[in-house]
Amino acid sequence: MSHTTHADLGGQPGHGRVLPEAEGELFHAAWEPRVLALTLAMGTTGAWNIDISRSARETLANYRDLSYYEVWFTALRKLLAERHLVAPDEADAGRALHPRRPLARKLMAADVPAALAAGSPTARPATTPARYAVGQAVRMYAGPVPHHTRLPAYVRGKCGVVERLHGAHVFADAHASGRGEQPQWLYTVAFDGAELWPDQKARGLTVSVDAWEPYMVAA
C-alpha cells in the first residue's frame, strides 16, 4: 500500500514568515467551530481512532491548498464515506438518503465535560524491558515507510541521544493502519542542530522528537 503524506513539514524551506495573532483569535469563519465540533463528536463514536484520522488528513491530495479546518472537513467526509456512514451524495444533498449504520457510541451534550476531562490516554503497560536507556546514542530509521508514521523526515538517518523514557504507548503506525494498538516504548530523542542541519550554523540548538522504539537502532 502506498502512502504519501503532505503534512511532514519540518525543515522545509520556502514557507515564509510566521504571522502572530492575538490570544482570542480562535476561528476565522463561522463554519470553523462547527467543523471542530463535528470532528470531535464523530471521533468519540468508535468509527475510527485519532491516528486513522491524522492519516486521513495528511494524505489528502490537495492538503497544501486547504486551510486547517478545510483539511479537517475534507478528511471527515472521506472517513464517513469510506465507512458508509454518510455517502457523498448525502453530504452534498444535506439530507439522509441511505440507511444509518450502527455506531458504538454517541456523544451526548451532558457527557461532553466528562469526556473532555478524561481524554484518551495512550500509555499502556509495558510487556518488554526498554531497549534503550537515557544517555544512549541512537540512529533513526532511514528506510521507506509505506504507511502512516510519526517519524519526521528531517530526523531520518540522524544520530541522537535518548533523553527521556515515557513508558509504552499505543503505536501510531500500527493504530492508524487498523492493526491494533501494539504498544511500544516511547522515547524523547534529542539531536544537535549541527547533526540535523549540517549546512547552516545552528550553534546552540537542540531539537527533540518523541519516537517509538521501532523508529531507532543503537548507534
Question: In the window 81-110, what residues touch other proteins (CB under 8 A)?
Answer: 85-86, 90-96, 100, 103, 106-109
Residue 8 or 136 having the CB closest to other proteins: 8
Q: Which of residues 155-214 bind other proteins (CB under 8 A)?
A: 164, 166, 169-170, 172, 186, 188, 196-197, 200, 202, 204-212
Query: Looking at 61, 104, 121, 143, which residue binds other proteins (CB under 8 A)?
Result: 121
Among 161, 140, 158, which Cα is nearest to 150's? Answer: 140
The alpha carbon dihedral of 82, 124, 41, 152 has a sign of negative
Q: Whole-number minimum distance, CB 67 to other proteins, in Å?
A: 9
Q: Whole-number minimum distance, CB 25 to other proteins, in Å?
A: 7
Residue type, 44: T
Residue 62, exposed/middle/buried by CB under 10 A (0-12, 13-18, 19+)? exposed
76 binds other proteins (CB under 8 A): yes
42 binds other proteins (CB under 8 A): yes
Main-chain dihedrals φ then ψ at residue 174, nearest 5 degrees = -75, -45
54 binds other proteins (CB under 8 A): yes
CA distance 160 to 79: 36
Main-chain dihedrals φ then ψ at residue 186, nearest 5 degrees = -115, 135
142 binds other proteins (CB under 8 A): no
Query: Looking at 61, 104, 118, 133, which residue binds other proteins (CB under 8 A)?
Result: 118
